[in-house]
Amino acid sequence: MTETKKREYDRIPCPICGHLINRWDLKEHTFAERWVLNRIQNEHPEWKEENGVCTKCWEYYRDLPPRTGALN
Ligand SMILES: [Zn+2]
C-alpha cells in the first residue's frame, strides 16, 4: 500500500492536460520562461505557475503562434 502511495506522490497529473508527470519534471519548466506561463494563464485563468505544467503542454504553449484568437 505504501508503495502505491509513494508513486502517487511522485507522479502527479498535469493541471492542463491531466497527463501524469513527475513532480520534478513539472517544477523544472515553471521557472524557465515567463511569457510561456502567461500564455498558459490566458487560456487557463485558474492555473497557477506553482501548479506546474508538463513538457507536452509547455512545448505546446511555447510553440503557439503569437496572435491566436485574442487580439486586443
Ligand atoms: Zn500537460
pLDDT tens-digit series, residues 49-61: 888 888 889 889 9
Q: What's the number of domains the chain is made of?
A: 1
Output the CA 69–ligand 1 centroid distance in Å.
Answer: 21
Output the CA 56–ligand 1 centroid distance in Å.
Answer: 5
Is residue 68 a part of any domain in this protein? no
pLDDT at 44 over 90: yes
What mean pLDDT do residues 17-27 have?
A: 80
Q: The domain containing residue 25 runs over which residues? A: 2-63
Is residue 43 a part of any domain in this protein? yes
Residue 67 pLDDT level (bands cut at 50, 70, 90): low
Is residue 71 a part of any domain in this protein? no
Predicted local distance difference test score (pLDDT) of residue 32: 61
Predicted local distance difference test score (pLDDT) of residue 23: 75
Output the CA 57–ligand 1 centroid distance in Å.
Answer: 4
Is residue 35 a part of any domain in this protein? yes
Output the CA 20–ligand 1 centroid distance in Å.
Answer: 8
Output the CA 21–ligand 1 centroid distance in Å.
Answer: 8
Q: How far is CA 60 from CA 18, 28, 33, 45, 71, in A?
A: 14, 16, 13, 17, 19
Is residue 57 a part of any domain in this protein? yes
Under 8 Å between Cβ of 16 and 57: yes
Is residue 47 a part of any domain in this protein? yes
Q: In this predicted model, which residue has the larger pLDDT, 25 or 72?
A: 25
